[in-house]
Amino acid sequence: MACWDYDRTRAIMENRVAFDGIEVTYLPLVVEETFFRMMRHQEFDVSEMSLSSYTLSLFADKPPFIAIPVFPSRMFRHNGIFINTNSGIREPRDLAGKRVGTPEYQLTAPVWQRGILSDEYKVPVTSMLHLQGGLEEPGREEKAPLALPPTIKLQEIPKDKTLSQMLETGEIDALVGPRVPSSFKPGGKVRRLFEDYGSVEREYYQRTKIFPIMHVVAIRREVYEKHPWVAQSLYKGLIEAQRITYQDLRETAALKTMLPWLIQHVEETEKLMGKEFWPYGLEPNVKTLQTFLRYSFEQGLAKRLLAPKDLFARETLESFKI
């Protein structure tokens, strides 16, 4: 299993969680490496995977993966939209007609960011020129082949340039993506579009009840078809690992995370989002998944509009009761 070293999976790395019938070797790889190796070479039996890349893989003649409704990465993404201070962009609607960089057009974070700009601020994806390339290293390419409609304008940046540099010099006006560019520094020419992003993101959640999903857990379909029971076994084990993390976050005898006001943060989060503020499973995530799948379709990525249940192994869509 290839997955980053998250708190919600740490119990697996520490062998505190047993999987029915499975011996797990956990590889804590950075997400870009995991995605590249799984999408290009299918190196792992199980891995975390970009929700967007996984969605696109379902349109292959022989889809190579099947997911379970476990979401190791979720994140509000208003904080990941950056602008050049000389671009004339003062508010979201000013992005219309601008040059917007993205490490890959199909990355999950930019899909959410473009969708939110369209839904919330009336900036359609067709109103911007999208420029694709490496954030900090030249020559990055899309992991998945794209067939965008002509109404969506996507170009590659020069092979010797990076998006971070181009944002600083004004060669692009804005950037959407999952990482903070190195050109974002005090007194520089790059700032966030939403400077008080925490307040904006909390208001967004309070109004929509959407906590954006970034990653799923995917199984190589070859493994799943030979041993369909592994889907439920993995699902149960990952839920148990997350349960341990919830307990650790609420521990007051001694803080298990190096954050002084951790308990206050947890209590404030529970007040806004409920006790299980990072839900796994299909049912509590239907609206969030429907929204993402609509964005993928509207942005020319998904060939047709999928339903949330189309994403997951059927064994994980219901559970037994005693």
Would you list the domain boundaries of the chain?
Answer: 7-74+211-316, 78-208
Give the pLDDT score at 143: 85
Let me know if the fold of 7-74+211-316 is the same as that of 78-208: yes
Pull the structure tokens for residue 243: 């349960």
Give the pLDDT score at 35: 96
Please give the CATH superfamily to which domain 78-208 belongs.
Periplasmic binding protein-like II (3.40.190.10)
Give the pLDDT score at 144: 82
**Measured between alpha carbons, how far is 54 from 217 in angstroms, rounded to an integer?**
9
Residue 130, beta-bridge partner list: 100, 154
**121 contacts: CB under 8 Å, gap ≥ 6:** 91, 92, 93
Give the pLDDT score at 322: 74
The side-by-side arrangement of strands in the sheet containing 174-176 is 153-156, 129-132, 99-102, 174-176, 81-84, 190-192
Helices then strands (H, E): number in the chain? 10, 9
**Measured between alpha carbons, how far is 36 from 143 in angstroms, rounded to an integer?**
7
Q: How many residues does the chain have?
A: 322
Give the pLDDT score at 213: 99
Give the pLDDT score at 137: 96
Radius of gyration of the chain (CA): 20
Give the pLDDT score at 263: 98
Residue type present at position 34:
T
Note the pTM of the prediction, 2 decimals: 0.96
27 touches 2 (CB < 8 A): yes
Q: What is the CATH number of domain 7-74+211-316?
A: 3.40.190.10
Q: DSSP alpha helices (H): ranges in the chain? A: 10-13, 31-41, 51-57, 108-121, 163-169, 197-208, 221-226, 230-249, 262-273, 286-298
Residue type present at position 169:
T
**252 contacts: CB under 8 Å, gap ≥ 6:** 263
Task: Transcribe 260-316 into DSSP letters.
Answer: TTHHHHHHHHHHHH-S-SS--SSGGGHHHHHHHHHHHHHTT-SSS---GGGGB-GGG
- Residue 279 backbone phi and psi in degrees, to 5: -70, 140
Q: Dihedral, CA atoms, 298, 130, 138, 88, nearest 10 degrees?
A: -130
22 touches 233 (CB < 8 A): yes
pLDDT averaged over 10-residue windows placed end to end, the chain, 322 residues: 98 96 97 95 98 97 98 99 98 98 98 99 98 97 91 97 98 98 97 98 98 99 98 98 98 96 98 98 98 99 98 90 71
**Measured between alpha carbons, how far is 156 from 142 in angstroms, rounded to an integer?**
10
